Every structure is written in structure tokens, then in C-alpha cells.
Amino acid sequence: DLPVVVIAGRPNVGKSTLFNRLVGRRQAIVSDTPGVTRDRKEGEALLRGKRVRLIDTAGLEEAAPDTLFGRMRASSESAVSIADLVLFCIDARAGVTPADAHFAAWLRKQNKPVLLVANKAEGAVATAEALEAYSLGLGSPLALSAEHGEGIAHLMGEIADRL
């Protein structure tokens, strides 16, 4: 079986954009509506010669508890439970939000290897905000831009090193 890499985080941080970048095809549907992920949520990616099964989690799903955190957690729980590695994404432009902090606290208790991704950091504009992500207690943030393709090759190497 291929190692499972799960992309998690609150809505609108760019999870589906990162998924598409790593898979190299438009398999997930990116929407301007925060957290909307439709159709394909799984794909295979080749990361530095290593094949992985990549899962894009939706930030908002039907039939879930009615708080944002509850919905995030419900939609991510089953995916995280089968993960060999979790990519926990934040939006470096927005900085660390209360939802990020809640999610990170829950994730720390799952005892899964986590790579912290500070997305939307194109042009190093958001480096200071990315550094704020150290406060989440999930290690060093990897600043990158899924949309612009910056830092993706480095991320691929970091993922492959951990599997």
C-alpha cells in the first residue's frame, strides 16, 4: 500500500490548490467560496521518486457538528486516522487564527507525523506571519505558495524524507 499523506487545515488556506500542485493535475476543485471541495479528493503523487496517496480534506462538509471547528474536525478525523503524514496548512497572509490553533491542538494529540505548511507566502511577503506559525507547536513552518509554485519542490523533498 502507498503511504497516505493527508492535507488538513481550516477552510480557504489553499489545501485544494496544494493538492493540485502535488498531484500535478486538476483533480480537486478549487473554489473562491471558502472551504468548498467537490468531487475528487484523492490522487496519487510522485514526490522525489516516491509514490504517495494524497488526500485533500474538505473544510466544510454536510451532516457535521455546527461549529466551524466541529465541521473541520469531523471531515478530517477519518482521513487523519489513516495518515502516515499530515500536511497541516495555514494561510501565512492571515497569520495564525483561533481556528488554526484549535485544530493544531487537536492534531498534536493524534500522534501523527505533521509537516506545518504556511501557504500563500509568495514573494516572501508573508515570512513574518509564517514564523508566527511556530506558536502552533507543530515544528518549523515551511513557507510556500501553492498557487505560484514556490517552495513546492522543497516540500516534496521534505515529505519524501518523512515516509
Q: Cell numbers 500563500 correspond to what residue? A: 120
Nearest approach, Cβ of residue 128 and Mg ion (Å): 26
Q: Which residues pair with 118 in a beta bridge?
A: 90, 143
Site for Mg ion in 31-60 (CB under 5 A): 37
Binding mask 102-141 for ligand GDP (x = CB under 6 A): -----------------xx-x-------------------
The window from 16-24, 43-51, 62-70, 126-134 that contacts Mg ion (CB under 5 A) reads 16-24
Contacts of 27 (CB under 8 A, 6+ apart): 19, 20, 39, 40, 42, 43
By CB under 6 A, tell whether 76 contacts ligand GDP: no
The beta-carbon contacts of 98-102 under 8 Å, at least 24 apart in sequence, are: 99/10, 99/68, 99/69, 99/72, 100/9, 100/10, 100/136, 101/135, 101/136, 102/69
Residues that bind Mg ion (CB under 5 A): 15-16, 37
Residues that bind ligand GDP (CB under 6 A): 11-17, 30-32, 34-35, 37, 59, 119-120, 122, 145-148
